[in-house]
Amino acid sequence: MRATTLDLVRDLEPEDTVVQSMPDVSPTKWHLAHVTWFFERFVLEPAGIARFSDTYHYLFNSYYNSAGEMHPRPERGLLSRPTLAEIRDYRAHVDAQLADLLDTDALDADARAVVALGLNHEQQHQELLLTDIKHVLSLNPLKPAARRDLRRPASAAPPAYRFRRGERGVVRIGHQEDGFCFDNETPVHDALLQPHGIGMRLVTNGEFREFIRDGGYDEPAHWLSDGWSAVRERGWNRPLYWDEALETEFTLGGVAEIDDHAPVAHVSYYEADAYARWAGYRLPTEFEWEHAARAEAVRGNLLGTHAWHPVPSRDGTQFFGDAWEWTSSAYAPYPGFRPLAGSLGEYNGKFMCNQVTVRGGSCVTADDHIRPSYRSFFYPDARWQFLGFRLAKDEHD
């Protein structure tokens, strides 16, 4: 699995791996080192293995206050060293030590659970690495591609937007299947669903274009107050990577024509919410989403498709892949939530404020890394991830 990470950077130059285009973005090099640090810090160190470098320990701690001081996040792009080659060495070093530990059965069940967490953590950073380098390259007037051999499936119009009547009443929410999950998917608990209908696919570029053409970005009545402020202060008038003419967009494969049949992505929560309001609908809650998604197969346009870009739904049903979906739910702990013990308790719990839950994974989510109970989360003004949305509506008895 960790080999996948290195494959993602195959077509990048060393220079590409240095840049931090905004504080939210981390340099490619940093991602490669940080996921390695995670294994070193939470598996090797507890097993008594000495650090590769005290400075690396400082540089590649992301946000674990209990693991010690760390390099300030907005200054990750100031670090030209260690070089990409040195970080590959660091990865190889830690991988070898980890392999030794795994071979010798030196790790108990708890430690093996941390290894599993580390692998899932690395998958999360595989996605971040790609969305971050997309942002970096998009700002370069030369518009370089992050990858040269991506697939671009043939496009066709998806079926018209369709709602399914949702379950109502009390349902079980949270990770109920076997296998790995993050702490924020627990505990399983009851949630109450109101009468509602839920859209079966994501909103498309073509549909979003109608909102733009109708003056959607100019009419405050569609917008939350904070959203309207963002629109005016940042000059938003289209999804993040669209050109001014609304004809092309920047993709991981370089500049491409906008496919009106494909799901819209790189919109903020505010834009998703405004579109829904304009269209006479609303966004689904994360519980409505999860319950509906349980009825669907966990497959879709994920990392393995090697499109690395949203593609049209063929049959009008789309729940996994393409783009993370903004829900109407603030990211909050489930009733009775307990974070992991120790430093790993900082993994998810401390972010449960000011963010919005997104669901379903994207076109750069690892294929085995998504499930109905999976919760990710972003601030409502985030746009640099593959972020799209589906619609929902109230039903009346």
**Residues of the shown chain interacting with a copy of itself in the complex, contacts defined by CB under 8 A:** 13-19, 21, 29, 55, 58-59, 63, 65-66, 71, 75, 77-84, 136-137, 139-142, 144, 170, 189-192, 194, 220-221, 223-228, 269-270, 273, 328, 330, 332, 335-336, 345, 350-354, 380, 394, 396
- Shortest Å, Cβ 278 to a copy of itself: 14
- Shortest Å, Cβ 72 to a copy of itself: 11
Q: How many helices (H) and strands (E) does the chain have?
A: 9, 13
- And the tokens for 311? 């593609």
- Shortest Å, Cβ 193 to a copy of itself: 9
Closer residue to a copy of itself (CB): 82 or 216: 82
- Shortest Å, Cβ 105 to a copy of itself: 33
Those residues whose C-beta lies under 8 Å from the C-beta of residue 207, and which sit 6 or more positions away, are 161, 264
Give the number of other CB atoms < 10 A from CB of residue 347.
17
Closer residue to a copy of itself (CB): 43 or 137: 137
Q: For residue 198, which phi and psi values (nearest 5 degrees)?
A: -125, 135
- And the tokens for 251? 């993709």
Closer residue to a copy of itself (CB): 48 or 235: 235
- Shortest Å, Cβ 243 to a copy of itself: 16
d(CA 344, CA 373): 20
- Shortest Å, Cβ 254 to a copy of itself: 12
d(CA 259, CA 84): 35
- Shortest Å, Cβ 285 to a copy of itself: 9
Q: For residue 246, which phi and psi values (nearest 5 degrees)?
A: 65, 30
DSSP bridge pairs for 192: 170
- And the tokens for 228? 């309207």
Closer residue to a copy of itself (CB): 96 or 170: 170
Beta strands in the chain (DSSP E): 163-165, 169-173, 189-193, 196-199, 248-251, 254-257, 300-301, 320-321, 324-330, 356-359, 376-378, 387-388, 392-394
DSSP bridge pairs for 387: 324
DSSP bridge pairs for 197: 165, 393
Closer residue to a copy of itself (CB): 100 or 394: 394
d(CA 41, CA 47): 10
- And the tokens for 281? 């609908």
- Shortest Å, Cβ 155 to a copy of itself: 29
Q: For residue 165, which phi and psi values (nearest 5 degrees)?
A: -65, 125
- Shortest Å, Cβ 131 to a copy of itself: 16
Those residues whose C-beta lies under 8 Å from the C-beta of residue 167, and which sit 6 or more positions away, are 193, 291, 292
What is the DSSP annotation of 279-328? HT-BPPPHHHHHHHHTTS-S-EE-GGGS--S----SSS---EESSEEEEE
Evaluate whether 241 touches 250 at the Cβ level (below 8 Å): yes
Closer residue to a copy of itself (CB): 71 or 112: 71
Closer residue to a copy of itself (CB): 269 or 320: 269
Closer residue to a copy of itself (CB): 39 or 334: 334
Closer residue to a copy of itself (CB): 127 or 288: 288
Under DSSP, is residue 212 helix (H, G, I), strand (E, B) or coil?
helix
- Shortest Å, Cβ 117 to a copy of itself: 19
Evaluate whether 258 touches 248 at the Cβ level (below 8 Å): yes
Closer residue to a copy of itself (CB): 154 or 353: 353
